[in-house]
Amino acid sequence: MNGAQSLLQTLVDAGVEVCFTNPGTSEMHFVAALDQQDGMRGVLGLFEGVVTGAADGYARMAGKPACTLLHLGPGLANGLANLHNARRANSPVVNVVGEHATYHRALDAPLTSDIAGFAAPVSAWVRVSESAGDVAADAAEAVRAAAEPPGHIATLILPADTAWNDASGPAEPLAVPEPGAPDDGAVAESALALMSGEPCLMLLNGLGVSEAGLALASRIARATGARLLADTFIARMPRGAGRVEVDRVPYFTEQAEEVLAGTRHLILVDTKAPVSFFAYPGRQSVQTPAGCAVHQLTVPGQDTLAALSELADRVGAAPFEPEVSALEPPGLPEGPIDAEKVMRVLGALLPEQAIIVNEAATSGITLHTHTRCAAPHDLLDLTGGAIGMGMPAATGAAIACPGRRVVSLEADGSGMYTVQALWTQARESLDVTTVLFSNRKYAILQIEFMRVGAHNPGPKAMDMMDLSRPDLDWVGLAAGMGVPGMRAETAGEFADAFARSIATPGPYLIEVVV
């Protein structure tokens, strides 16, 4: 058994089942080991942003890490933006990055770079194996580091000779630490606040927006009159009929301040106090209202369900049932298609247990409203603001959840970042329906340009936010990568195409010019 084989066996023994990859020469022994290893599926991406974004989407739905296999520093570098998003989602990911052989590194060959340097900003754990005998134990530690609550990026750098030299065998899986116990004092403090009679708001994320977390929070809210709010962007949130619906902190900070105004006690559940996404001249970045007391119930990595359960007991929430959404799909719209009508069609036709990946940016504004009473589903957001997450994450989610339809809501600007994901969807015959909102501009930037006080953009500035000249033909792009599709002009056409797509195995793309 060589080092590469010891790696693969260790990963499989630790429960890692999927390897998203774009390998190179220095990873060929790992690819050979993949061949011989039962229980590990290799999925090729034509760009590493697809690979890491798929690993993020997979982790959010599977609740455990996939591994990536990346080619040296540049391969990792290409995947960093989606690893940034994965880090912000607390998604567990094990990166395996090939490196030049130990004795080759110092020679400064063209592909030599500081791989650990590239990895550091996104990784909670980085290690370079220095011999084939170390690989298995290092891999077991990488899986543990990734899986440790709330989920982390672990990056294992493997010089090529650690792959081809002899190793003694795989390493035993390491026990993953349990989530940290809730802090009794924090629970008591939150309970006191909730029973104070003063305006309370519970801000939720992480386990606080799991189905169980939302149910507990809803009971607490009904018992105490507290308001519930979730962070603006959430890694995964169960929604639709039978689930507790919670509004989000608005993206635009003026609106966020309005929503948060009047709060006397802010109880943070698996999250931190809200701040604006960007800074704006003359406006505060901190959104917590002046005079509001902040109570940290749990931080990411703690057992938030236990904390909420204890809190529910303390505030007498036992008799209260969670307030859940009814199944009341909206009616099908008619007339020329627009972004809101797309969302109404989704609300009406979404199949049970669909997975929505939302990177539709400005076109997605009414998604929450119209899918609130749809069939139960999961919603995955862009958590780190690095665009290009949507189509890769949809790809990974589909691999994690065969049998569930993935609906990838994508904008033209962000879609172009990792457009190669469509090819992987075609190759793997994934059940992904992409709705591509083509507004032919970076619409959010045209809004933000005004909001940051940079008034009256001239033609050169506008040009930098404009995606026309030429218009992108998304149906043509998808076809070029093997994904069938059509452009919908009316709500009826869109609904028909959407219904047909969710009933037909494999990927499909519907372009909506908005």
- 197-236 positions binding its own copies, by CB under 8 A: 233
Is there binding between residue 290 and its own copies (CB under 8 A)?
Answer: no
- Binding its own copies (rule: CB under 8 A), the pick from 1, 241, 306, 461 is 461
Stretch that binds its own copies, among 142-150, 205-213, 276-284, 392-400 (CB under 8 A): 276-284
Which stretch of DSSP H or E encloses residue 125? strand 125-128
CA angle 256, 326, 251 (to 5 degrees): 15
Contacts with its own copies, 143-162, as mask; x by CB under 8 A: -----------------xx-
3-state secondary structure 335-350: CECCHHHHHHHHHHHC
Is there binding between residue 1 and its own copies (CB under 8 A)?
Answer: no
Is there binding between residue 123 and its own copies (CB under 8 A)?
Answer: no
Is there binding between residue 303 and its own copies (CB under 8 A)?
Answer: no
- Binding its own copies (rule: CB under 8 A), the pick from 276, 296, 298, 363 is 276
Is there binding between residue 23 and its own copies (CB under 8 A)?
Answer: yes
Smaller CB distance to its own copies: residue 109 or 261?
A: 109
Smaller CB distance to its own copies: residue 84 or 344?
A: 84
Contact criterion met (CB below 8 Å) for 290 and 193 = no
Stretch that binds its own copies, among 9-17, 97-105, 135-143, 398-406 (CB under 8 A): 97-105
> Would strands 125-128 and 200-204 be described as parallel, antiparallel, or unpaired?
unpaired
- Binding its own copies (rule: CB under 8 A), the pick from 131, 189, 259, 277 is 277
Smaller CB distance to its own copies: residue 199 or 250?
A: 250
The DSSP annotation for 364-375 comes to GTTHHHHHTTSS
Contact positions with its own copies (CB under 8 A) in 324-363: none
Long-range contacts of 190-194 (CB under 8 A, 24+ apart): 190/267, 190/295, 190/297, 190/311, 191/311, 191/314, 191/315, 193/265, 193/267, 193/293, 193/295, 194/220, 194/224, 194/226, 194/265, 194/267, 194/311, 194/315
Contact criterion met (CB below 8 Å) for 250 and 399 = no
Q: How many CA atoms lie within 13 A of 435 on its CB side?
A: 36
Smaller CB distance to its own copies: residue 187 or 260?
A: 260
- Binding its own copies (rule: CB under 8 A), the pick from 177, 198, 225, 272 is 272
Is there binding between residue 252 and its own copies (CB under 8 A)?
Answer: no
Our CA dihedral for 151, 155, 161, 166, rounded to 10 degrees, sits at -20
Is there binding between residue 500 and its own copies (CB under 8 A)?
Answer: no
Stretch that binds its own copies, among 96-104, 127-135, 208-216, 236-244 (CB under 8 A): 96-104
- The three-state secondary structure class of 263 is coil
412 — phi, psi (to 5°)?
-65, -40
Size, binding site for its own copies by CB under 8 A: 100
- Binding its own copies (rule: CB under 8 A), the pick from 481, 488, 510, 512 is 481
Six-digit token pair at 281? 């001249």
- Binding its own copies (rule: CB under 8 A), the pick from 39, 169, 385, 505 is 385
Minimum gap (Å) between residue 217 Cβ and its own copies = 22
Residue in this structure with the two tokens 């550091």, named with its chain if needed: 120
- Binding its own copies (rule: CB under 8 A), the pick from 16, 257, 359, 423 is 423
- The three-state secondary structure class of 25 is helix
Smaller CB distance to its own copies: residue 218 or 271?
A: 271
Contact criterion met (CB below 8 Å) for 95 and 84 = no
Stretch that binds its own copies, among 100-108, 199-207, 259-267, 296-304 (CB under 8 A): 100-108
Contact criterion met (CB below 8 Å) for 355 and 380 = yes
What does the buried/exposed string (b/e) look like for 394-422 if buried means 16 or more CB atoms within 10 Å of the residue's CB? Answer: bbbbbbbbeebbbbbbbbbbbbbbbbbbb
Stretch that binds its own copies, among 69-77, 147-155, 182-190, 312-320 (CB under 8 A): 69-77
Is there binding between residue 185 and its own copies (CB under 8 A)?
Answer: no
Minimum gap (Å) between residue 30 Cβ and its own copies = 9
Is there binding between residue 21 and its own copies (CB under 8 A)?
Answer: yes
Is there binding between residue 388 and its own copies (CB under 8 A)?
Answer: yes
Stretch that binds its own copies, among 67-75, 126-134, 176-184, 310-318 (CB under 8 A): 67-75
- The three-state secondary structure class of 208 is helix
CA–CA distance, 200 with 264 (Å, rounded to integer): 6
Minimum gap (Å) between residue 279 Cβ and its own copies = 4
Minimum gap (Å) between residue 456 Cβ and its own copies = 8
CA–CA distance, 399 with 43 (Å, rounded to integer): 9
Minimum gap (Å) between residue 274 Cβ and its own copies = 10
Minimum gap (Å) between residue 57 Cβ and its own copies = 17
Stretch that binds its own copies, among 59-67, 101-109, 198-206, 262-270 (CB under 8 A): 101-109
| DSSP E strand stretches across 137-269 | 153-159, 200-204, 227-230, 237-239, 265-269
Stretch that binds its own copies, among 75-83, 124-132, 168-176, 354-362 (CB under 8 A): 75-83
Is there binding between residue 473 and its own copies (CB under 8 A)?
Answer: yes
Is there binding between residue 181 and its own copies (CB under 8 A)?
Answer: no
CA–CA distance, 373 with 371 (Å, rounded to integer): 5
Is there binding between residue 25 and its own copies (CB under 8 A)?
Answer: yes
Minimum gap (Å) between residue 493 Cβ and its own copies = 20
159 CB-contact burial (10 Å; exposed 0-12 / middle 13-18 / buried 19+): buried
The DSSP annotation for 310-335 comes to HHHHHTT-TTPPP------PPPPP-S
